[in-house]
Structure 1
Amino acid sequence: MGPDDTTLFPSEAALAAFGDRLPLARQFADHLVTSGVERGLIGPREAPRIWDRHILNCAVVAELVPNGARLVDVGSGAGLPGIPLALARSDIGIVLIEPLARRVEWLREVVAALDLSVQVEWGRAEESAVRRRWEGADVVTARAVAPLHRLAGWCLPFLRTGGVMLAIKGASAPDEVARDSSTVQRLGGGEPRIERCGAGIVDPPSTVVVVERVPSRARRKRG
């Protein structure tokens, strides 16, 4: 079965998320369940739930992205959440950062096939050269990459003051916030908070941990 099978494709939800760019989102789904599976970017068992669990789960995070934002997607993997966000919001500028060459090759192929103005960076978020190229971002996203305290160390340096890290998490989010809040604040973030995105589009809504990059003066006061 392909991604357009009526039992798998949530047409109303997808239309709400992507509007007139829904045909491109369907093309992306096709890439994921064909070459994405063949080349090991997603597991074959994920194909039947590619829309709700992956594409829509990421696209609804656009609710938290300001207009015209510069966005860095750390550890992009199969382009999640970066490509669904690019499809949902043509007004934002996106770079996908991915350390594995085979994934970077696939990402560049898909970005070209979809004719998206998305850049793909081969490198690690913790590398100083990568940070210098993409610092000053408004938003940094990450999904299924690392625990919150580690993500903060990788993601916050990309952000301008007042920019936000959006970490897509699952049921572990409250525990991670409780455990890692003080570390996140030492690394330059504000107090983490949990937001739910996509009510009425995805069930359950996507869970996102939001951390603002705070001024260094505010960090000194806390310390």
Structure 2
Amino acid sequence: MRSWAVRSFLAVAAVGLVCLLVVAATDERDLAFTLGVAPGGVAADLPPGGRACQTPVAVPAAFDGVEVKLGTHRRPGPPFEVEVVASDGGQTVATGRAAAGYPDNTVVEVELAREVPAGSDVDVCVANRGRGDLAVYGGPELAKRGSGVRVGGNDVPTDMTLVFTRPGSSAASLLPTVFDRAALFRPGWVGAWVFWLLAGLVLLAVPGLLAGALRSGNKDTRG
């Protein structure tokens, strides 16, 4: 009876370890940063050809995608374009386009043609390229201090709900960076190699402990 219980426990532990490794290899982190504006209402109404810009936006981390929440008045959404423009001169930094047909009241992610580097100040614009009306969701202007919305050259007391994304990386692929940064807060002789060694010991020790427990259970059963 005890041997059966030990085997069951070891099987569950092994499955848990495998699941943990799978999650570490596949779980992706793709958020670069966000403005922190909740989509509480309409920040800008865009007729065909209309354009709304969030300006300026400080870029703390590089990004190559923008998520925006849109309303389409219960109709299939029109095509639209996201334009990222340098705040200090109006030069286009990156653009991306979304096809028509997305549902009403939904978040659409637009991939940009190139990456926008960190450390810059940009204007992020949403331009309606279709024939139907488009509503960009956002919140009151105070939600993002120092930045605001401009529509057709006029300031609007709102902020758009924008989320900036970058290519996802699995949790496992982030380990080298995590270990390198962790070494900065340790004594001088402790480098990233120490954390790799500890991780390796853990991976080796778990199967060893499981095997030892199984052998011990078998001995107790025979005894």
**Normalized against structure 2, the TM-score is what?**
0.24
Which one has the largest radius of gyration? 2
Instruction: Using CA pairs under 8 Å that are at least 6 residues apart, name the structure with larger relative contact order, 1 or 2.
Output: 2
- In proportion to residue count, which structure has more strand? 2
TM-score under structure 1 length normalisation = 0.24
